[in-house]
Amino acid sequence: MKKILYLFLILGCVSCTDPIQIQLDSGSPLIVIDGFINNMRKDQVIRVLHNSDYFSTSPSSPITNAVVTVKDITANKNYTFTYSGNGNYVYKLDTNNLINSVNHIYQLNIALNGYTYTAQTEQKRTAIMSKKAVKISYPFIDTSLFKLGLYDTLMNRNSKPFYTVFLYAVDIADNNPDYYWVKTFRNDTLFNNPNDINTSVDGSGGPVYNSPQPVNYFTPPASFLGFKRYQLGNTCKVEIHSLSYTCYNFLNQAQAQMTNQGLFATTPENVKTNIVSPNGATKAVGWFNVAMTVSDSIIIK
């Protein structure tokens, strides 16, 4: 289906508006695969969807007839995911059946309409958390015009104290770079805006080589957890997910494209994918990663 975009050009000082009609394609159909799974003792979900047209306001439609499996190639073990609705294919993990093998190679297989889409990744090690990995800062009184803005400050003269939380975690220092995705939650709700994607290399802004210590402590900005604010009674939960090097690059590229705007915006580009689409099949995009994950939480009190 074609859609119409009207552009209005104002030339020089001429006070007239000429409509220019441009026909835009709705875009080629795509299959979107969200294949981020981990070793946590909860349902693992792989999402398989149709993409929606660029100008559509409707949500992406689910694909209900796929056969989704993950194979541990190293251990020759298969995990079958069962469709549960809304494009979600679920595998239930328990204490006896964790996807929990660092350095194992995993392969995603999605059979759909006579074709099989595949992707491979290696499960990487994650960071080490202490028993009190997340710690509460001292309370702050929110009176800064620079923090809230003038309007909000005037409307909140009696602002309540807020707290920030700091992450204490360490990376193993052995000249093998480790890539992490630090996810932050408030009361079990993930901060999931594009700017909330918090990635790190060796717990810092880049690889750390020849460290004099056996571990590297996480440093800002990763350890600041997105500078999120918490009130008394809130719960802050943090998860550190291991990433492959290519997945780390994928998340950073995706974040750059989703936040690419303003005066210094760059030319948009297609975000990479590690999903291999068979010849003749509808192209699939997305990513497959198997993470080793550690987590901690704290109640603000």
pLDDT in tens, 60-118: 899 999 999 999 999 999 999 999 999 999 999 877 778 889 999 999 999 999 999 99
pLDDT in tens, 210-222: 999 899 999 999 9
Give Cβ neighbours of residue 82 (< 8 Å, ≥ 6 apart). Answer: 89, 90, 91
pLDDT score of 288 more than 50: yes
